[in-house]
Amino acid sequence: MSDDLSEQLSPQEQSERDELAKAFRDVVATASGKRVLFWFMEQTSLYPDPFAGENTNATNYSLGLQAASRKLISKLDEIDPRLYPRLLLDVADLKAMDRAALAAKQETEDEE
């Protein structure tokens, strides 16, 4: 990656940045890692509307939670702009497989 920021980093900072990028790639490479990242995004209320009507404290709290997920998405985009969209697709596939496995298990139990 050759951008203005990487040109200003010390060798140690660049090494740390590269190691963090590798760690993110390793996490996103596993089904367990994808589940954890997506769980985190769900816990930080990334997807629901943060607006809580007259309750500005609740709105601000939700916006603060969402900021954590936006930082995570920003880091994924910095590493590779395809990581977050791929994560969403892969998590959808994982959830579909989970539903299919549960349905098969229930069908097996019903047959017994």
Tokens encoding 71: 């930082």
| Whole-number Å distance between alpha carbons of 88 and 110 | 33
In this predicted structure, the answer to whether residue 98 has a pLDDT above a threshold of 80 is: yes
| Whole-number Å distance between alpha carbons of 20 and 9 | 14
> Residue 110's pLDDT is what?
87
Q: What is the domain partition of the chain in residue ranges?
A: 4-111
Residues 59-81 pLDDT 10s: 999 999 999 999 999 999 999 99
Residues 15-27 pLDDT 10s: 999 999 999 999 9
| Whole-number Å distance between alpha carbons of 21 and 15 | 10
Percent of the chain with pLDDT over 70: 95
> Residue 1's pLDDT is what?
47
In this predicted structure, the answer to whether residue 6 has a pLDDT above a threshold of 90 is: no
| Residue in 39, 48, 18, 37 with CA at minimum distance from that of residue 87 | 37
How many helices (H) and strands (E) would you count in the chain? 5, 0
What element of type H or E holds 16?
Answer: helix 11-28
> Residue 100's pLDDT is what?
96
